[in-house]
């Protein structure tokens, strides 16, 4: 069964460094998402991406964050200058998009645990 993959599974970085989290969505999916879960807290929406541009973004997704689909298969989340509070699990998800009945199910990657020291 097709699945969403994410790399790395765990990334440790120093405060102020740039990180790139990588996701490979399911190949025929059209909508892509990043979510964040700080330890012990709810999952939070960061950004959705469709047709090579951002569809929606949350208040969390400030100028330090960017997303890109550089080559038609990867979907990346870049954090320019990491802060301690960026430490979290980051999940990528994808969906085929909108069916006749509305939104279709999202498929989630296993997550990347980012630790900022």
Partner 1 sequence: KNEVEQSPQNLTAQEGEFITINCSYSVGISALHWLQQHPGGGIVSLFMLSSGKKKHGRLIATINIQEKHSSLHITASHPRDSAVYICAVMDSNYQLIWGAGTKLIIKP
In whole angstroms, how close is the CB of 44 to partner 1 at the nearest point?
7
DSSP per residue, 8-44: -SEEEE-TT--EEEEEE--TT--EEEEEEE-TTS-EE
Q: Which is nearer to partner 1, 51 or 71 (CB)?
A: 51
Q: Which is nearer to partner 1, 24 or 89 (CB)?
A: 89
In whole angstroms, how close is the CB of 105 to partner 1 at the nearest point?
5
Chain positions contacting partner 1, by CB under 8 A: 31, 33, 35, 37, 41-45, 48, 55-56, 58, 89, 91, 98, 101-108, 110-111, 113
Q: Which is nearer to partner 1, 20 or 44 (CB)?
A: 44
Q: Which are the contacts of 9, defined by CB distance < 8 A and separation ≥ 6?
A: 110, 111, 112, 113
């Amino acid at each position: 069964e097709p699945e969403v993959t994410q790399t790395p599974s765990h990334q440790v970085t120093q405060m102020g460094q740039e990180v790139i989290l990588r996701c490979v969505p399911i190949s025929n999916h059209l909508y892509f998402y990043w979510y964040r879960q700080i330890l012990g807290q709810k999952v939070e929406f960061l950004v959705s991406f469709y047709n090579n541009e951002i569809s929606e973004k949350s208040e969390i997704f400030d100028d330090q964050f960017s997303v890109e689909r550089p080559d038609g298969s990867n979907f990346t989340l870049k954090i320019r200058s990491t802060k301690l509070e960026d430490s979290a699990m980051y999940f990528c998800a994808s969906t085929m998009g909108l069916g006749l009945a509305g939104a279709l199910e999202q498929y989630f990657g296993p997550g990347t645990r980012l630790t900022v020291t």
